[in-house]
Structure 1
Amino acid sequence: MSVIVLAGGTSRRFGSDKLAALLSDGRSVLDHCLSGMPSGWPVVVVGPSRVVPPAVVARVRFVRESPVGGGPLAGVAAGLSQVSGDVVCVAAGDVPRAGKMLPSLVAALEADPSVDGAVLSDGEGQPNPLIAAYRVNALRGAMPSAPANLPARTLLSLSHALVRPETEVHDIDTPADLEGAERPE
């Protein structure tokens, strides 16, 4: 099992590097995300190299999407080129608690051999293709030859199961989102 963490965005709505923004415990948004990844799972971070928490440094490697700034679908393609195995998870680096959802997504995928992905849904039932587990071969087959600047929802063309989150999941797009992520689970 591997995880692709997307960490190459521009943070336009946040106004500065949101992945470096600090939560109340003094750790960055990306540090929370990486530290929360399931133990032992290799992690491919798609984005510029950064210092990562010591507890995960041995299992993290960095790659860049092509072209740099090509969007999340290009990021998934870059990460996908670095993984092996039958299942890969995708997690947005701006979701501090993304790792907590991944085992449930993998379990949902493995429980239903008729689907190619298990995708987290938000509170209104909308799928988030950037917090998901996918069958590697199906994901490779669905990836456009030129994924740059195409919408991430392209991944929803794969047959998928929707999985409701066990706890509230916050992505950090604005300073207000950062404040909302501080609420206890």
Structure 2
Amino acid sequence: MDDAPAVTAVVLAGGRARRFGADKLGAPLRGTTVLAHLLDTLPPAWPLVGVGEPRPAGRAVTWTREEPPGTGPLAALLAGAALVRTPVAAVVAGDMPDAAPALVGLVEALAAAAADVGAAVGVDDDGIPNPLLAAYRTPALAARAALPSAGVPARSLLEIPHLEVVVPGPAAHDVDTPADLAAVEREA
């Protein structure tokens, strides 16, 4: 029996955090940090690829960076996906501390989908699909990587044939401002 994992988590941990005004991923949350909380709650069997400057983590993370740095979330996601050796990449923004259960659900939805479906994308309470909270078949991301990505919006990933999965409540919330962080704390 093959014990190799079927899923790698790609965690986007770069960006400038302009609206937060400080390092939002390092902001205190529930006795740890926003990013550490997310990493600690992802399934332990999933290898982790972090995209951004290397940070301390409570588990093994392979760090990489988009080239050139700062060229946007799509370029970052594709840089991380280039290191994925599993059939599925579960992608999440590092500022989504409560997204781990949703990612598991997205992976399960993708596994149950037809083979021509390249992704399962989370949709928030407002009905907005988030390509940075999704499970992708690795070949679909490899095909997208062949196209230009610098400065291209991450929403272009929605061109991949996908299914949309409602991710209600806190699992779909990100931390962009101090008020968002306070709301995430309250939601716990």
The TM-score with structure 2 as length reference comes to 0.91
Taking the TM superposition and a 5 Å limit, the aligned residue runs for 1:1-185 are 1-23=7-29, 25-53=30-58, 56=59, 58=60, 60-113=61-114, 114-165=116-167, 167-169=169-171, 170-185=173-188
Distance in 2, Cα, partners of 1:12 & 1:173: 8
Q: Separation in 1 of the partners of 2:155 and 2:168?
A: 22
Kindly provide the amino acid, as one letter, of the partner of residue 151 in structure 2: N
Aligned length: 180
8 Å CA contact 2:110–2:119 kept in 1: the answer is yes
Identical amino acids, percent of aligned pairs: 47
Give the residue type in structure 2 aligned to 1:175: P
Q: Which letter maps to 1:136?
A: T
In structure 2, distance between residues paired with 1:143 and 1:50: 25
Normalising by structure 1, we get a TM-score of 0.93
Counterpart AA for 1:4: V
For residues 90 and 166 of structure 1, the distance between their equivalents in structure 2, rounded to whole angstroms, comes to 17
Structure 1 counterpart of 2:26, one-letter code = A
Unaligned runs of 5+ in 1: none
Q: Which secondary structure does the structure 1 equivalent of 2:170 belong to?
A: coil
Deviation at residue 81 of structure 1 after TM alignment = 1.1
Is contact 2:66-2:75 (8 Å) kept?
A: yes
What amino acid is aligned across from residue 66 of structure 1 in structure 2? E
The 8 Å contact of residues 12 and 51 in structure 2, kept in 1 or not, is answered as yes
Which aligned runs of 4 or more in structure 1 are off by greater than 6 angstroms?
A: none
CA RMSD of aligned residues (A): 1.3
Tell me if the contact between 2:49 and 2:63 (Cα under 8 Å) persists in the aligned partners: yes
Structure 2 segments unaligned to the other structure (5+ residues): 1-6
3-state SS of the aligned residue for 1:8?
A: coil
